[in-house]
Structures are given as structure tokens and as C-alpha cells.
Structure 1
Amino acid sequence: MNTKTLRKLEYDKIIKLLADHASSPGGRELCLDLVPSSSLPQIEKMQEETAAAFTRIVKKGMLSFSGCYPVEASLKRLEIGASLGSSELLSICKLLEAANRAKTFGRHETPDEEPDCLDEYFAHLEPITPLASDIRRCILEEDVIADEASSNLLKIRRSISQAGDKIHSTLNSMVNGSLRTYLQDSIITMRGDRYCLPVKAEYRSQVKGMIHDQSSTGSTLFIEPMAVVKLNNDLMELYAKEQEEIQVILARLSSEAAEYISEIRNDYTILTELDFIFARGSLALEWNASRPVFNEEGRIHIREGRHPLLDKQKVVPTTIRLGADFDLLIVTGPNTGGKTVSLKTTGLFTLMGQAGLHIPALDRSELGIFHEVYADIGDEQSIEQSLSTFSSHMTNIVSFLERVDERSLVLFDELGAGTDPTEGAALAIAILSSLHKRGIRTMATTHYSELKVFALTTAGVENACCEFDVETLRPTYHLLIGIPGKSNAFAISKKLGLSDAIIEEAKSHLSEQDESFEELLTDLEQSRRTIEQEQNEIRAYKEEIASLKEEIEKKQARLNEQRDRILRQANEKASQILREAKDYADETMKNFRKFGKENVSAAEMEKERERLRKKMEKTNSHLTLEKEKPRRQYKPSDFKLGTSVKVLSMNLTGTVRSLPDSKGVVDVQMGILRSKVPITDLDIIEEAASYTSKQTRKTSSGKMKMGKSLTVSPEINLIGKTTDEAVALLDKYLDDAYLAHINPVRVVHGKGTGALRAAVHNYLKRQKHVKSYRLGAFGEGDAGVTIVEFK
């Protein structure tokens, strides 16, 4: 890819953002060196690695690569037999500890966990734990060697401590004894690793010893008394032995490390590569990006893509198609409408995808693989463009026009601008026509109406525009493919206060063909909005039907389950009754034979018969079905607005929405379902407290009892509910609030994925007693709350 295009499409800014996610110098360097590839296997490999890192970060968190510093210079010194310093050995130790962390992170927690392409990286890591532990045991920090590094070092340092104590003891006796009056201060100091005393200059002859230093004024001499000269010499010898022993320890550790040069070098390479991969995964997580699907036919289908360098709270997702039904897309519309953003998004996503990065768009977005991307995009736009600007653009276009082929993507921003409009339009059409005939995927933005006509009349060329709201004078940034853009100059001018007379005068200067073309564009725009509205309504109806179908299927499944359970229980009960009847019959026959053979009194026989009769009655009582209570017959006057009823034929509860007509039919709202039902198919549900417009009413005891209208809250919380449950609860609550004269009310649905909010808004659209609704402002709950106002 040419560096000029990478800069114009701001690919370098993306790479800098990627490098910020790397935690090692080597990983950051790999990020900064990343360039798009045109090899499909290489691209798919990198995309798979990014996806695997994304999944692992979501499951386990980010893997730290701290301590992974370059050690190649140290390894080369080891190869020639040199001994490393403590800081170099500590760097190798930190690298091995980072490898150990990564090795642990890479292990799967359960045997059935799905393997991924990163397993091979983790499997080849060699932490060399014994070497890392030995270095960490001997070297506490840079230039600090532990006493336990060797027994000899421990012995030497104990001797140093003892020698130091002896020197201090000798000097303390001098400071507190005969030399006290000769000293400037009663302290022991050091000069050049030698213990000395600060002696006044006039008493130099009174203190025997070696002068090592004097103060800046010359009033104080730092003298090493002769009594401690030998002790200081012995101490210096011990310090020298300590350094020799430290070098022996470092040489031993270096020798151990030299045995694993290839493993250490391999660990560093793998860790920097993993850091590079996890930086890509971390960036994808930050952007909520997805893995694109690639093809080699030059098809592009970006589904609701968001330019990553724009504020993600404000950027409007856009859908862009190119290369399937048409290979040339001409985007028109007013300035600041988002044309250049759409152009840059297409080019940047292509570069990012081919560099192994996920793109901030919906799943199943499709990108073609291009060997080159050529872009002619101005760094800044100006109302007055000079000839030099036109020349610079043409120079850039000429530079790549001969090099483009079928595997290239070409992007033009304001093609042909900066010169005479007629000539500029003709030149733009000629350039685009030449690219179109060669089958080169091209996307261009323009103001020229001639290019709109060219797109309308040429096969394989499509118009597009960035939607503009004339009412608010603001662009919506939605890219509408298949519709040419309007300039909206007259509408915008009128909205800004330009007089109708001037506007009509301007229209008179338009040719009849131009005016007809603008009217055609207006009709197309109106038709598009109507179709979009109808499609949204159809989509809502489909979702409602699917929801109802699912609910009915669930109810049918529950009914089938209940039926099977009842039949099973009935069969078991019948079997039990048959067994008991057989037992009764056997017992009766046995008694009959006994009473025939023995002389049993009539009283005893009657007593036994009575016992069996009671037992049979008890059994029969279990088989007797409870008599169904007669259903109350209702009159039309029994049904009021808001009456809670049960629809017998559908086994659903709902609320009366209209008074009975002449045929005794009322509208009943059952959740999201509204239906006309005869009153003969309804049962009124008696509630604990009926609705009343009065605030209070008296009871028989004379006390004031609050009506139900006072128990209705001005807010309902739907968080945690399914969309079906939420709509049913919201329906009942709005009835209560409306009858209780609570206005407005708050519906708390949370932010989440937005599904619950969408279901609430779809329901509110269809309610006739709802005047308006809006999302909460700052301090009211923001997008997690909807404020509903009744008529």
C-alpha cells in the first residue's frame, strides 16, 4: 500500500492507537510496523489471532507483558562467553517471569474448553523456572546482591560487619575520651571509604594519623587515627573480597543462563508477538469491533460502520455497499453532510481489515481484498478553491490513474472541483466512465448534477446521498444508496429567512430540465421515507406476531404438559380404585362365607355391612367432580372503561378500552394484543379496590379509606423483565396512572442492549391516550428512562 493513501485515510492514527495498547517495547514496535497485506491466508490468520485474543480478554482479562524487555545484546555477550552484570541478569529473570505468567494465562481452565490458534504460541514458551528463581534469589534488585547468594559472600559480609563494629568502637572511645577537646564535632565520618575524625586544624599535632581531607575553610581536618589505620585496611580488603565474590556469583549465573540462550531468545520473540496480538484484541474490545468477512471479488458491505477516530458517543453508524450490483458509487449532497466521512470509512476499514484488525461495525460486514487503495482526498475543504488546488488534485489523480487495475479500490473526494463547473463535471464523468469500463471499484463524492444523471443512466453505477434534515438544517449522516442527493439550497435559504421573492427569482433562472430533475429528486426522497416508514411498521408487526406465536406455543406446551399429567394421575387413581374394589369384593365374599358357616348375630352382620358402606362412600367422594358454579350473566352497563376482564375463549386477562356497542361488542386490550370481544365471552375480574375519581371515601366505621388512585406510583421499573413481561406490566400500569390522573409518568427500562427500550417505545406509539413520550434528560435518568405524557 502506498504511504500517501495511508496518510490521507489516517491509517497512521489507527496504528498509534494500536501501539498504545501494547505493554512491551517489542510489541509496540510490531504495532507501529503493521501494514495492510493483500494475501488472503495471511489476513485470515491475523484476523483469527485477533478474534482469539478478543475472546480470551473477555473471559480472563488482559494479559500483562511487563518485564518483556529486549535482551538480544545480553544474549550475544553470553554467546562469546562474557559475564553479565546484575541488571542484565535481572532483565532476563523478568523476561522469564513474564513467560511464566503468559504460560499460566494460556492454559485452558477446563478440558472441554475450545482450543484456539494462540495455543501454539503458549505451548512453545519455556519459562525456565529454576534459572529465574536462582537469579531472583541472588539479585534482589539492580546492583543489590543478596547475602544468601553464596556462603562465602555471607561469611565476607559478616566479617565486614564485625570489622566495622570494631572500628566504630575504637573511634567512639577516642571521641568520648582523650581526643574530645581536639574535635570540631563529636562524630565519626568517612572520607574515601576510610573512617575519620573531624579535628580542629590547630590541634593537628595532637592527633596522630593520616589526613584524608579538610573543610573548605581549612579549619577542620579529617584525620584517620593511627589506631584504626590497620582496621580500615582490613576493611578495604574485605570490600575487595566482596566484589570478587559478587563477580564469581554473576559469572555462575551467566554460565547458567548461557545454557538457555535459544530458549530465552525464543521466549522474547513469542512474548512480543503475543503482545502485538493482544494489543489488536484489546483495541477491538475498546471499539466493540467485529471480525469482517473477506472475499476476493471486490465486494464491500459495511453494516452500520462507525469511523473509529470520531467520538463514539456522537458518531452515526452508516451502511455502505459497493462491488456486488454496482462497481461505481457516486455520493452527492450538501457540505457537512458526511460524504467525506463515508468515503474515508470505506477506505480505512479496507486497510484495517487487511492489516488483521477488527472493524467497528456489525457482524457479517464484508470487505474485499485489494492490492492497492488509491485516494484523492483533500486535507481541508474551502469555499474558494484556486487553480493550484485543482492542479494538485489532478497531479495526484494522474499519478495513479495508469497504475490502477481490477484489484484496486479508488476513492475520489469532490472529483472535478476547483475549476469551471461544466468542464469539471465533464472531466469527472470521463474519469469515472474510464474506471467503470475497466471494472475498477470506485467511490466518489461530488456536487455536480451531471454526475447524478450519469449514475441514473449508466448500468453498474449507483447514486447515493447523505440524508439532510431541512427542518433542523442538520445532516443525519445516514448514507442512502440508490437515491441522488439534493442540494437543498432553496429550502435551506428559506429556512434561514431569505425572502420568497428572491427564492422565486432564483428558481426562474433554473432551466426546465433542472427544475424537473429537482422535483424528481424530491419525489424520490418522499417515496423513500414512506417506504422506510412502512417497512418499520411491517418489521414491528412481524416482531409482534412472532412474540405472540412464541407465547401461544409456550402456553400450548404447558397445556399439553398439564393434560398429560392429569391423564397420568387419573390412570393411577383409577388403578388404585380398581385394586381397592377388588379388595372390598374379596373381603365381602370372605365375610359372606364366614357368616354362612358360623352362627353370627344379625347385629354383627349389619355392623359389618355399615362399615363397608361407609368405606365405599368415602371412595366415591374422591370421584365426585366439583359442581361448576353457574357463570354470572352481565349487562352492557356493567362494563366501563378500564374494567379488568377475562376473555374466556382465549384464557387471557385484559382491560376494556371501549363501551359496548349495539351488538354488545367491546375492545379489549390484552398486553400488546387488542381485539373486539362480545360481552358474553367476558368475565369481570373483581379487584380488591376499584378505581375511583374521588381521593377518599368513608367506610361503615366512619373512618376515611384511601382509594386505589392514591396507591399508583408515578414511576414503573421494568429492568430485568423480558419484553413480553415488560409490555404487559406497562399496559396495566398506564391504565392505572391514566385513571388516577398522574401525569407525566416515568418508565425505567435501563440502557443495556436497547431491546427493552425499543419494545416500550413501539408499544407507546400505538396508545391513543399517550400524548407524547421522550427519553429522560440529564438528571432524569438519561437514555435509561422514558417520560410519558397523557392527553
Structure 2
Amino acid sequence: MNDRVLSVLEFPKIKEQLMAHTSSYIGKEKVEKLTPVFDYDWVVEQQRATEEGSTVLRLKGSVPLGGIRDIRASIKRARIGGMLNAEELLDIASTLYGGRQTKTFIEQLLEDIELPILENLAQQISSLKALEQEINACIDEHGEVMDAASPTLRQVRAQIRTFESRSREKLEQMIRSSSAQKMLQDAIITIRNDRYCIPIKPEYRNHFGGIVHDQSASGATLFIEPSAVVTINNQLREAKVKEEKEIEKILRQLSDRVMEAVEELDVNIQALADIDFIFAKAYYAKSLQGVQPKVNQEGYFHLKQARHPLISKEEIVPITFELGDSYSSMVITGPNTGGKTVTLKTLGLLTLMTCAGLAVPAEEETEIAVVSNIYADIGDEQSIEQSLSTFSSHMTNIVRILQELDDQSLVLFDELGAGTDPTEGAALAMAILDDVYNRGARVVATTHYSELKAYAYSKEGVMNASVEFDVETLRPTYRLLVGVPGKSNAFSIAHRLGLSDDIIKQAQGQLGEDDTRVEAMIASLEENRKQAEKDRTEADRYKQEVQKLRHELQQKEEKLESEKQHRIEEAEKKANEYFTKRMQEADEIIQTLRDKASKDETVKEHVLIDAKKQLDDLKETTERKSKPAKTNKAKKKGAQSFRAGDEVYVHTFGQKGHIVEKASDKEFLVQIGIMKMKVATDQMEKVHREQQPKVAPRPTVKTANEPAKMEVDLRGQTTDEAILQVDRYLDQALLSGYQQVYVIHGKGTGQLRKGVQDFLRKHKRVKNIRLGGAGEGGSGVTVAELT
């Protein structure tokens, strides 16, 4: 991978952000060495690892990775037999503890979710708890070897404390003596050359005897070890030498134990580095609100609401576009500082991040190709030292790119052909784009040349795009518009800034016919795009409303079906209770008859049995009638033809309805009351009008156990007939306990509806009326609420 491209696309800054999420030096080192790899299998594996880390964070919030140290140097020295110091051994113990905590954490997760990559790394970690305990038993948290490390060390340190105490007691007696006060420079005990001394004036040197270990810079103070404590200090020194030898012995033993485990420690540290690196990527993905992109080998890119990760979320405008499917080249035009270069860098940087196993700041379903390499010519690299102009520096870089790219490459050109004569530059840019296109690579280029807009418009496999500019505010919006070339907006901007109309008209007259056509084409495309966006927004709104209405209708239908089932169950329950009670009464009567039969020969047993059987048959017949029919009634002879508007009797529900429309060859959409449903032709039969007299049918008298229907159909009746039937029907509905009923009068001329509604408004038991809603029959039905 070319380091210059990594630098231009700012990949090192991504690594700096990623490094902040590591928990150990070994994890940071892996981030430092991170570079994109253009190998499909490797990228897929790394993306899966990042996804596993993100899954763990989503479930647990954090990962216990504390205590891990870089112990590789200590392992290396232990391998060759070197002795480790206390701090190094303490780091090894801390790393063993951290590794064991991490291993346990991952193993507990495996009970609920599958994490094959993390599971494999956790299995590589050796516990080595015995070694950790040995080190912690000998060395405290400050890196000091403890007295308990060995019996000999405990004994020697007890001697040291005794000798120190005796030596200090003698010296304190001396400095507290009134006769010695004038001889002392300070009444303190100090240490020189690991020996206890007192500071005295030079003229009293011979008074104390002993050994002079040091003097002050001015010579006014001598640090003397009085002869009275020389023997004790000698004993103290000997004890400290024994202590050092014993500590060295303990450290040597612990180092030997580490040497026995160097192979396991090597594997541990590598596994922990990989785990730290995986979770660093996961934490980084969370901070970016990133997603794991889909990857492919076909050179297809689909960025969905993609953001540049180095620009704050408050400032960045997400971009969405595709490349590599119906077109493999894209030409982006638009004003300076409008976001063209940011678009190039976003595509390049997100591809680098994907090929490094990182999540990308975009929405789900973002797809990025694993290319063979990325080439970029972005920015001005003119060099005074090398005598290179802007154009020359660009051409030098482009020549190298053209020599190296292949059909799996991604090429990014910023301001292609700039820095020279516009006509020649545009021609050269088109030739370069043709060459890259013909070699099969994916290419995105930015430009200001109008010729390239026309080139992208007419060339198959090349797509125009632009960054939007608001002429009203004279500011770019940073939105990427795919399929629309950018306008220069020079005349509009000049006019807004106050340039006279005469000058602008003269300038427009200088434009060639081709330039005028291109600008007109762009203006037309821009207008069409805005209209298409407006239409799409309106269509989305309608779609949401339809979905909402559909959901509400479905809920109402489910509620009605539930109420219907509940009423059927209640009716069956009451019927069963009624007949059970009657059977009990019959049993009592039969028992009475039997009692009499035992005394009276004229009452025969077979008479009683027959009576019992008849009662049982009556109960079974009634129960069958209370349940909806599961089989069709006998069909009429000969095939029936149905059409919209026909009144039919639906056997399945035992009710009448009318056909709304044909649903399929064997089904029709039938309105039954307030419900519409599909009914097969063999489940219904036509009701012939001629068989029904047009006079209002006399309503049958309903009993308490036979409730009225929730609707009354008045179609085909006169207003007077309808009002008479509604009046009778309301009485039945009130007896049945209904709170709401449906009066079906049809649409027609509206006379029947008006007459019925006037009657309902005056009825003392009608609380409120309204027309039917969606799915209730609309204006052909009046819904009455009863009190």
C-alpha cells in the first residue's frame, strides 16, 4: 500500500482515534502496525471479529481488560535463564490475572451467543494460576519482596530491625546528652554509606572517635559513625547482605518458574493483544455509530448515508451513491468548497477502513468492494525544489497510477486536468478517464470543465454527479446529487453580488451554442430532480397514511371477529346451561316415575328409556344448531354466474350480503354488514329479487335468547317503509343490548338516507348518528349510537 495515498486519505488519523480505545501497550502496538489488506478472505475474517466485539459491547457495555502489561522483554530474558526483578514478576502476575479474567468473561458469554473468533482466542489463554499465586505470595503490590517469601528472609529481616533499633537508641542517647549538644551541628541521626551517623562540628572530631563517612560542602559539618555503634552497624550490614542474597535466591526461583511457562506466556500475550485489538475496533465502531459493511469482490460500492469519520457529526452532510454496477466511472462537478474533495476522500477512506477490518460511519446495507489497490491524486503538490508546477506534479502522479492500476483498482482524481489550458486540460482529462474505464477500474473524478459534464452525459458507463449550491444564500449545501451535472452558477452569483445586468448579458452572449445547450440541459435536469424529489416525498406520505389506515382497519376487523366469537361462545354457554338444567329436571321426573313404577305395574321401564332418549336427542340437536355450519348447504343444480351488485346468501356465515367485485376466478369480494371478505363461489348462492316482495318484511319477534343482527338493510324500500322497519328494528336492538347499530340505506339519490337520518335524529333512544367510515360502507351506511 502506497504510504502517500494513506496520508492523503488521512488513514493515520483514523489509527490515532482507534488507538485511544486500546487497553494495553500491546494493543496499541497492533494498531500502530495496522494497514489495509486487499485480500477478500482476510477482510471478511477481520470484519467478523469486529462484529463479534460490537455484539459483546451491545450486550455487556464493557470488557474487563485491565492489568495486561507488555511482558515480552521479561519473557525473552527468562527464556535464556536471566533473573527477573520484582517489578517484572509483578507485571507477569498482573497479566496472568487480566488474561484469566478475560478468558472467564468470554467463556460465560459463549453460553448465550456464538463468538467463534473470540472463543478461539480465549481457548489459547493458559490460566497459570499457580504461577500467579506464587509471585503474589512473594511480592507485594509495591514490587517489594515480602517477609513471608521464605523463613530465612523473615529471620534475617527480624535481625535487621533489631540492629537498626539498637543503633538508633545509642545514637539518640548521644544526641540527647547535654554535654554533646555543643558538639553537634544538628541533633539528628542520618545515614551515610548505609551507616547510621551523626553530624558534628570539625573541632570535636576526636571526642566521639569512630569513622568519618562524609563532610558537608563547606567543611563545617562532619558525618561521623561513633565507635560505640560501629560494631552494631557492622552486624546490621552483614544482615543486609544476607537479606540481599535471600531476595536474589527468591527472585531466581520465581524466574525459573517463569522460564518453565515461557511458551504459554508467549501465546497468552499474543491472544490478549488480538482480543484488545478486536475490542478497540468495537469501541471505535460504537463511537462512530458505525456499521459492518457488506464486502464483495465484484467492484461494487453502495454508500448509504456515509459520513467522513474525521468531520464532526454536526457539520457533515451524509452522502449516498453507487458505483460499479450500471456505471463504473463518476464525474463530480460543482463549486469550490462544495464538498467534491470530501466525497472523494469519504469513498477512499471508508474503503481503506473496510480493508483494515474497521466499521464505517454509514447506515445498514452499505456495501464496499475489496479492491486490489487504491490510487489517489488529490491536492496540490507543486515543488519548487524539483521545479514542478501544479500541472506537472499532477501528471507525474497520474502517470505512475496509470502504470500500476489494474481492473480491480479504485482510482480517485481530484480536479483532473487542472493547472493548464482549459481546452487541452479537458481533452486530456477525457482521454485519461477513457483509458481507466477501458481497463475496467473504478474511477471517481472531480472537475470544473463543462466538456466533462457532456462527456459523462453521453458516455455509457459514466455517471454525472454534482454537489448542490444554493444560489439564494450563495452557499454550498454539500449534498451529493447523482445523475445531475453541476452548474457553474457564475452568472447567478455575479448577479446576486450586484454585477450589472448589461455586463451579465454581454458575458452570456460570449458563450458558445454548445455551452448554452449544456447549461439549459443542466437546468432542466435540476428542475426534474426537484420535482421527482417532491413527488417521492408526497408518495411516501400517502404510503404511510395508507399503511396506517390499513393497520386500523385490520385492528377493527380483528376486534369485530373477537366480539363475534365471544357472543357465539356466550350463546352456546347459555344454551348448554339451559338444557343442562332441563336435563336435570327431566332426570328428577324420570326418577320419580321409576319410584312409582316399582310400586305400579302399569308404568313400564321401556317407556322411561324412550323418554330419556328423546330428551338426549333434543339436546344434541340444539347444540348442533347453535354452532356455525362447517359444511356447505346443498348447491343448486347447474353452475351459477355472479357479478358485482348481486345479492347473495353466504352459507359459511348464514347471512346475506352483496358482491362488491371479482377477486379471482373462484372468489368474489362480498360485503356482509360492515365487513368485506373473500368468498368462494361454492360457498354462496344468488338471492333472486323476483322471489322477494318489495314490501317491507315484517320483522320476526326476537326472544331474549335470539338477539337481533347489528345491521338492518333498507335498500329497495320507500322512505315510509324504511322508517317503519327502522322503528321496529331499534326496539329489537335495544332489547339485545346493542350500543351501536348499522342502518344500510345505500347511496342512490340520497332521499332514503335523508328520511332515515331525520327519523333517527328525532328518536329518543338514539344518542348520535354518523356516516360509515372506511370499511363500514361509507355514505351508504348510517351508524347510530344508542343510549
Same fold (TM over 0.5): yes
1:681 aligns with 2:782: yes
Listed one character per residue, the Cα deviations across residues 299-358 of structure 1 (whole Å, up to 9, x for unaligned) are 111111101111111111101211100111111122222111111111112221111111
- Does the C-alpha gap of structure 1 residues 420 and 189 become closer, same or farther in structure 2, counting only changes over 3 Å? closer
Matching residue's letter, 1:38: F
Partner in structure 1 of residue 477 of structure 2: 476
Shift of 1:474: 2.1
Matching residue's letter, 1:344: K
SS at match of 2:70: coil
Listed one character per residue, the Cα deviations across residues 762-790 of structure 1 (whole Å, up to 9, x for unaligned) are xxxxxxxxxxxxxxxxxxxxxxxxxxxxx
Matching residue's letter, 2:320: T
1:190 aligns with 2:199: no
Partner in structure 2 of residue 605 of structure 1: none
CA–CA separation in structure 1 for the residues paired with 2:166 and 2:145: 24
- More off after superposition, 183-192 vs 222-231: 183-192
- Does the C-alpha gap of structure 1 residues 202 and 414 become closer, same or farther in structure 2, counting only changes over 3 Å? closer
Listed one character per residue, the Cα deviations across residues 402-453 of structure 1 (whole Å, up to 9, x for unaligned) are 2222111111111111111111111111111222222221111111111111
Listed one character per residue, the Cα deviations across residues 466-514 of structure 1 (whole Å, up to 9, x for unaligned) are 1222222222222222121111112222222323222222222222332
1:75 aligns with 2:75: yes
- Tell me the number of residue pairs that the alignment of Structure 1 and Structure 2 aligns: 642
SS at match of 2:253: helix
CA–CA separation in structure 1 for the residues paired with 2:291 and 2:113: 22
User: Does structure 2 retain, via aligned residues, the 8 Å contact 1:292–1:358?
Assistant: yes
1:153 aligns with 2:148: no
User: Does structure 2 retain, via aligned residues, the 8 Å contact 1:199–1:222?
Assistant: yes
CA–CA separation in structure 2 for the residues paired with 1:72 and 1:175: 53
Shift of 1:685: 11
Map 1:33-44 onto structure 2 (within 5 A). Answer: 33-44=33-44
User: Does structure 2 retain, via aligned residues, the 8 Å contact 1:210–1:226?
Assistant: yes
CA–CA separation in structure 2 for the residues paired with 1:78 and 1:234: 35
| Overall identity of the aligned pairs, in % | 41
Shift of 1:15: 2.1
User: Does structure 2 retain, via aligned residues, the 8 Å contact 1:332–1:445?
Assistant: yes
Shift of 1:110: 6.5
Partner in structure 1 of residue 577 of structure 2: 576
- More off after superposition, 102-111 vs 145-154: 102-111
CA–CA separation in structure 2 for the residues paired with 1:623 and 1:219: 125
Partner in structure 2 of residue 243 of structure 1: 244
Shift of 1:589: 5.6
- Does the C-alpha gap of structure 1 residues 622 and 113 become closer, same or farther in structure 2, counting only changes over 3 Å? farther
1:360 aligns with 2:358: no
User: Does structure 2 retain, via aligned residues, the 8 Å contact 1:387–1:419?
Assistant: no
Gaps of 5+ in 1: 599-619, 634-645, 651-659, 687-791
SS at match of 1:145: coil
Partner in structure 1 of residue 561 of structure 2: 560
Partner in structure 2 of residue 309 of structure 1: 310
SS at match of 1:415: coil
- Does the C-alpha gap of structure 1 residues 152 and 661 become closer, same or farther in structure 2, counting only changes over 3 Å? farther
Map 1:370-409 onto structure 2 (within 5 A). Answer: 370-379=371-380, 388-409=389-410
Partner in structure 2 of residue 113 of structure 1: 113
Shift of 1:363: 1.4
User: Does structure 2 retain, via aligned residues, the 8 Å contact 1:667–1:676?
Assistant: no
CA–CA separation in structure 1 for the residues paired with 2:164 and 2:79: 41
SS at match of 2:420: coil
1:128 aligns with 2:128: yes
Shift of 1:530: 0.7
Shift of 1:83: 1.6
Matching residue's letter, 1:316: V
Partner in structure 2 of residue 617 of structure 1: none
User: Does structure 2 retain, via aligned residues, the 8 Å contact 1:338–1:477?
Assistant: yes
- More off after superposition, 498-507 vs 175-184: 175-184
- Does the C-alpha gap of structure 1 residues 354 and 668 become closer, same or farther in structure 2, counting only changes over 3 Å? farther
User: Does structure 2 retain, via aligned residues, the 8 Å contact 1:387–1:418?
Assistant: no
Partner in structure 2 of residue 9 of structure 1: 9
Partner in structure 2 of residue 19 of structure 1: 19
1:46 aligns with 2:69: no
Matching residue's letter, 1:229: V
User: Does structure 1 retain, via aligned residues, the 8 Å contact 2:408–2:440?
Assistant: no
User: Does structure 1 retain, via aligned residues, the 8 Å contact 2:181–2:187?
Assistant: no
TM-score by length of 2: 0.74
CA–CA separation in structure 2 for the residues paired with 1:192 and 1:387: 69
Shift of 1:562: 3.8
SS at match of 2:116: coil
Matching residue's letter, 1:512: E
- Does the C-alpha gap of structure 1 residues 519 and 585 become closer, same or farther in structure 2, counting only changes over 3 Å? same
Shift of 1:380: 8.4
- Does the C-alpha gap of structure 1 residues 109 and 417 become closer, same or farther in structure 2, counting only changes over 3 Å? closer
User: Does structure 2 retain, via aligned residues, the 8 Å contact 1:306–1:316?
Assistant: yes
Partner in structure 2 of residue 737 of structure 1: none
Matching residue's letter, 2:126: E
Partner in structure 2 of residue 551 of structure 1: 552
Matching residue's letter, 2:426: A
Partner in structure 1 of residue 57 of structure 2: 57
Partner in structure 2 of residue 268 of structure 1: 269
Matching residue's letter, 1:338: G
CA–CA separation in structure 2 for the residues paired with 1:243 and 1:679: 106
SS at match of 1:319: strand
Shift of 1:584: 2.3
SS at match of 2:477: strand
- Does the C-alpha gap of structure 1 residues 387 and 206 become closer, same or farther in structure 2, counting only changes over 3 Å? closer
Shift of 1:576: 2.2
- Does the C-alpha gap of structure 1 residues 179 and 552 become closer, same or farther in structure 2, counting only changes over 3 Å? farther
User: Does structure 2 retain, via aligned residues, the 8 Å contact 1:390–1:419?
Assistant: yes
- Does the C-alpha gap of structure 1 residues 452 and 167 become closer, same or farther in structure 2, counting only changes over 3 Å? same
Partner in structure 1 of residue 625 of structure 2: none
- Does the C-alpha gap of structure 1 residues 203 and 363 become closer, same or farther in structure 2, counting only changes over 3 Å? same
User: Does structure 2 retain, via aligned residues, the 8 Å contact 1:668–1:677?
Assistant: no
Matching residue's letter, 2:173: S
SS at match of 2:480: strand
Listed one character per residue, the Cα deviations across residues 671-710 of structure 1 (whole Å, up to 9, x for unaligned) are 9x99996597356899xxxxxxxxxxxxxxxxxxxxxxxx
Matching residue's letter, 1:272: A
CA–CA separation in structure 1 for the residues paired with 2:63 and 2:219: 62
Shift of 1:30: 1.7
Matching residue's letter, 1:328: S
Listed one character per residue, the Cα deviations across residues 236-284 of structure 1 (whole Å, up to 9, x for unaligned) are 1111111111111101111111110100111111111222222222211
- Does the C-alpha gap of structure 1 residues 206 and 397 become closer, same or farther in structure 2, counting only changes over 3 Å? closer
Partner in structure 2 of residue 524 of structure 1: 525
- More off after superposition, 527-536 vs 470-479: 470-479
- Does the C-alpha gap of structure 1 residues 649 and 295 become closer, same or farther in structure 2, counting only changes over 3 Å? farther
SS at match of 1:282: helix
CA–CA separation in structure 2 for the residues paired with 1:647 and 1:549: 23
Partner in structure 1 of residue 614 of structure 2: none
- More off after superposition, 661-670 vs 226-235: 661-670
Shift of 1:670: 12
CA–CA separation in structure 2 for the residues paired with 1:664 and 1:563: 27
SS at match of 1:518: helix
- Does the C-alpha gap of structure 1 residues 36 and 579 become closer, same or farther in structure 2, counting only changes over 3 Å? same
Gaps of 5+ in 2: 600-701, 713-722, 727-738, 744-752, 759-767
Listed one character per residue, the Cα deviations across residues 712-734 of structure 1 (whole Å, up to 9, x for unaligned) are xxxxxxxxxxxxxxxxxxxxxxx
User: Does structure 2 retain, via aligned residues, the 8 Å contact 1:298–1:368?
Assistant: yes
Largest Rg, 1 or 2:
2
User: Does structure 2 retain, via aligned residues, the 8 Å contact 1:22–1:276?
Assistant: yes
SS at match of 1:375: strand
- Does the C-alpha gap of structure 1 residues 493 and 454 become closer, same or farther in structure 2, counting only changes over 3 Å? same
RMSD: 3.8
SS at match of 2:365: coil
User: Does structure 1 retain, via aligned residues, the 8 Å contact 2:373–2:410?
Assistant: yes
- Does the C-alpha gap of structure 1 residues 412 and 584 become closer, same or farther in structure 2, counting only changes over 3 Å? same
CA–CA separation in structure 1 for the residues paired with 2:424 and 2:240: 89
Matching residue's letter, 1:302: L
Shift of 1:228: 1.9
SS at match of 1:681: strand
- Does the C-alpha gap of structure 1 residues 190 and 455 become closer, same or farther in structure 2, counting only changes over 3 Å? closer
- More off after superposition, 102-111 vs 583-592: 583-592
Partner in structure 2 of residue 452 of structure 1: 453
Partner in structure 2 of residue 102 of structure 1: 102
User: Does structure 2 retain, via aligned residues, the 8 Å contact 1:320–1:346?
Assistant: no
- Does the C-alpha gap of structure 1 residues 569 and 308 become closer, same or farther in structure 2, counting only changes over 3 Å? same
User: Does structure 2 retain, via aligned residues, the 8 Å contact 1:84–1:250?
Assistant: yes
